[in-house]
Amino acid sequence: MNMSSEHEKLPRQAINLGDTAQIKRVLDEVASQVVLDAGYPENFTISNRKIALGLLTCGFALVAQFYPKTYPHITTVQILCVVGYFLLNTLLQVYMMICERDIILFTNPKTEANTGICLSTHLPRFADKYKIVIACSESKSSSAARPPMVLERSIVDWFYEDGHLADDVFKKDVVKLLKQYESAETRKELKDR
């Protein structure tokens, strides 16, 4: 059975409409699923690099903790491990700030003709405006880069008073935004020819 069809069959629980973090999490999950269901395969490169840096960082901590010698003989090793742990953890945080930003999903191209996309969202604390941005995953200097498509609406348009998400309305809005992005992509390709 397909994972997305299992995901759709499960009823969503009502959420606390005063908790913007929970609202953002629910909307992010559904928006990501809509993009993946549209045929864009997820790109795990950035996640894999984060995992590798995290494992390397943990390796320094493990060496410092379980080095086979006793205290007076391992002072240098412990200092090097603590410094290595600090540097790699800092590198991991900087990598996440530079590469991820507010992006919740990186995809590969759906076909050879188009590019992958970055799906980013933003919901400020104590605000009701949820912003979805679909942008090209290619670098800004690339000729394939296009202007991003943005949808910003109030979350009250997508939630019932009892805290349940109006899935069909939200999915329809995300699909419409994705189609606008794809049609702009097609127009740019025809214009470049």
Determine the distance from the C-alpha atom of residue 82 to the mean position of all C-alpha atoms in its chain, rounded to a whole number: 30
In the prediction, which pLDDT does 46 show?
92
Task: Return the number of other C-beta atoms located less than 10 Å from residue 146's C-beta.
Answer: 20
Better-predicted residue by pLDDT, 72 or 88: 88
With 80 as the cut, is the pLDDT of residue 138 above it? no
pLDDT of 193:
46
How far is it, in rounded angstroms, from Cα 126 to Cα 117? 28
User: How much is the average pLDDT of 183-190?
Assistant: 64
Answer yes or no: is pLDDT of 187 > 80. no
Alpha-carbon span 99 to 46, nearest angstrom: 8
How far apart, in whole angstroms, are the C-alpha atoms of residue 158 and residue 163? 10
List, in order, residues 6 or more apart from 138 with CB less than 8 Å away: 115, 116, 144, 145
DSSP string spanning 103-160?
EEEEB--SSTTS--EEEEEE--TT--EEEEEEEESS-TTSTT--PPEEEEEEGGGTB-
pLDDT at 147 over 90: no
> pLDDT digits over 7-65, tens only?
555 567 788 888 999 999 999 999 999 999 999 999 999 999 999 999 999 999 999 88
Cβ 105 vs Cβ 134: under 8 Å? no
The answer to whether residues 22 and 115 touch, using CB atoms and an 8 Å cutoff, is: no
Report the chain's terminal Cα–Cα distance, integer Å: 42
- pTM of the full structure: 0.80
Q: Does residue 3 surpass a pLDDT of 60?
A: no
The residue-averaged pLDDT of 67-92 equals 90
High-pLDDT (> 70) share of the chain, %: 85
Residue entry with tokens 């999903």? 105
Residues 6+ apart with CB under 8 A from 119: 31, 32, 35, 103, 104, 105, 107, 132, 133, 134
